[in-house]
Structures are given as structure tokens and as C-alpha cells.
Homo-oligomer: A and B are copies of this chain.
């Protein structure tokens, strides 16, 4: 039983961290560190890039965000840690969520001596708007 009050988080909350968490919450854009920095800068003009990186690292270690490697140019962050996949549009560069069943036989891999932490399915192609635009161009 907690002596005083329930700790809402298991880390020290600060205005900067709160702002980053709020920004990420329900964010479907898969923002990069730069995106986060720019957004938070509006409210906290003095925030440092280091704080953004430190906070993202911390949230990743706490399992509160996922670090995506789908974009080779920069890391992207996803507040949705439930299993789903991603598509990066090779035209507009956007990263979209793809919810689709993908039965991966992890048991088979475990049997072969691997241990599995995480599976990331990255699809490269064109999003519907870009595909449509491409069609009318021809």
C-alpha cells in the first residue's frame, strides 16, 4: 500500500516531459525527434534538443513509445505500442499505420534457439493519395 499517494508515473514528471507525452498521445504521424522538438518549442521556447532525445529514450525504455527504423533517414516514434505494422510512402514520405493480421510463428523461432523481443514489419510503397495522383499523371 502506498504511504501517501499513488505515483502516477514511475519517473519524475516535469513540464517538458508532460508536454512531450501529451504531444505524442494519439499522434498518428510517427514524428521524428525534430518534429517533437519543433512542436514543443512553441510552448517551451527554451527546450533543448538534448531534453527531447533524453525524454524519448526514457519513454522508450519504459515501453511507452516505440522507436521505428522504417525511415532510414531518421528515427521515428510511435506512442501506439500495440502490435501493428507500418507503411512508408516512397513518394510523400509519410509513415502510416497498417493494422493487419500477420501470423508470425515465433514458436518455431524459439524452438530453433532464438529469443524474440519484437517484430517490426515495414512496408514500402505508395499510400492511396499518392498512388491516385500517380495514375492521373500518366
Q: Is A17 in the interface zone, CB < 8 Å from B?
A: no
Contact pick for A75, options B72, B100, B116, CB 8 Å: B72
Stretch at the interface among A29-37, A42-50, A102-110: A102-110
CB distance from A62 to the nearest CB of B (A): 17
Question: What's the dominant secondary structure at chain A's contact region?
Answer: mixed
Q: Is A127 a contact of B100 with CB atoms below 8 Å?
A: no
Nearest residue (CB) in B for A98 is B109
Enumerate A51-81 residues with CB–CB distance to B below 8 Å.
67, 69-72, 75
Contact pick for A118, options B98, B120, B124, B128, CB 8 Å: B124
CA–CA, A35 and B90, complex, Å = 27
CA–CA, A121 and B72, complex, Å = 15
Report B-chain residues with C-beta under 8 Å of the C-beta of A103.
102-103
Contact pick for A120, options B102, B113, B124, B132, CB 8 Å: B124
CB distance from A87 to the nearest CB of B (A): 6
Chain A residues within 8 Å of B, Cβ to Cβ: 67, 69-72, 75, 87, 90, 98, 100-105, 108-109, 112-128, 131-132
